[in-house]
Amino acid sequence: MSFDSPWMLLLLAVVPLLVAAYVVALRRRARRAERLASEGLVPTTAGRRLRRRHIPFALFAAGITLVVFGLARPTVNLPVPQREGTVILAFDVSNSMSAKDLKPTRMEAAKVAARAFIEQQPSSIKIGVVAFGDSAVTVLKPSNVKDEVLAAVNRLSISGGTSLGQGIFTSLRTIAGKPLKIDDSALASDAGSVNIGFFGSSAIILLSDGENTTRPDPLALAEVASTAGVHVHAIGLGTERGTVVQVDGFSVATSLDAAMLKKIADTTDGTYNQASDAAALTSIYKSIDLEFKTVKKPREATALFAAAGGLLLALGSALSILWLGRVV
């Protein structure tokens, strides 16, 4: 326990003064009672009152002590349960994300949804940003500074093809916070046996149209994520009917591959949602499996001490009036 106004504790010197005054008053009353006894005027209830007459004063003294502690503004470290975890926003930044079957474009719709998601998160959740096209890069390491995360999302731009596998792998590497090496032969033969560690309070939110154009196999990387305890929540951007985009003067057809995204999500026990509007991503937070950790946080306990002290003073007053016919 610490105190923000420790000098107020000097008022505790009042308590022993009150005790001394009380003892003096008791002696005076005892002498007066002896005089009355010599005259045969001592009340018959004196013996019963003698046994409990100190209780009200003890309550007064304890109450004043607690009030003084309250005036010193005590701060205590209390254990508080807190949800903690890491979420990676993995953005598909391939050329197909410029398609306008989501208004204004798939990419802009993804950014709007991501911003809404970021704003809703508590400070105990760290958010990282990964961008993937033909390859993938960590745009921002996990951070609980919302302005940093929003800035990272805002500066994403479109280029190249799509490698969902690279997006998942780089997201896992960002969660682990260290370089990861995955043997290609093991990935091809039994991806579920690839062990990169366990990160049970982490999740990847994969924002993509699901059109995979290059290796590695995204479903194999999803198996690796599942073994690591990382859920992949996929957000489908676009429509299955699709549209046409212009890439380097060529017209390229593009459509939402919901089946691929669903397989990735199912492999990791994640969820799939189609981002028909910006609100779709905001519901994902409820699906993320995060850990509860107990952390100690400072809390000012002034009100608690003041309330307890006031209660003891009130109780002491009531008992004094009830038993002795006076407040003190």
Q: Output the six-digit token pair for 95.
A: 């050329």
Averaged confidence pLDDT in the chain: 81
Q: For the chain, first and last CA: distance in Å? A: 32
The reported pLDDT for the residue numbered 271 is 86
The reported pLDDT for the residue numbered 51 is 63
* Residues contacting 38, CB < 8 A, separation 6+: none
The reported pLDDT for the residue numbered 81 is 60
Q: Which of 233-247, 280-294, 308-322 has the lowest mean pLDDT?
A: 280-294
The reported pLDDT for the residue numbered 44 is 47
Percent of the chain with pLDDT over 90: 20
Q: Output the six-digit token pair for 66.
A: 């607690």
CATH of 93-289, one of 1.10.510.10, 3.40.720.10, 3.40.50.880, 3.40.50.410: 3.40.50.410
pLDDT, tens digit, 9 for 90 and up, residues 33-76: 677 666 665 554 444 455 677 788 888 888 888 888 888 888 87
Q: Using CB atoms within 10 A of its CB, is residue 262 exposed (0-12), middle (13-18) or buried (19+)?
A: middle
The reported pLDDT for the residue numbered 168 is 94
Closest by alpha carbon to 208, among 88, 91, 116, 89? 91
As a whole number of angstroms, the distance between CA 161 and CA 211 comes to: 9
Closest by alpha carbon to 272, among 225, 223, 208, 214? 208
Confidence of residue 326 (pLDDT cuts 50, 70, 90): low
Is the pLDDT assigned to residue 277 strictly greater than 60?
no
What would you measure as the largest C-alpha separation in the chain, in angstroms? 121
The ranges of the chain annotated as CATH 3.40.50.410 are: 93-289
The reported pLDDT for the residue numbered 240 is 80
Confidence of residue 243 (pLDDT cuts 50, 70, 90): confident
pLDDT, tens digit, 9 for 90 and up, residues 119-133: 888 888 899 999 998
Is the pLDDT assigned to residue 215 strictly greater than 50?
yes
- Which of 23-32, 64-73, 101-110, 263-272 holds the top average pLDDT? 263-272
pLDDT, tens digit, 9 for 90 and up, residues 196-214: 888 888 899 999 888 888 8
The reported pLDDT for the residue numbered 17 is 85
Whether the Cβ atoms of residue 72 and residue 6 lie closer than 8 Å to each other: yes
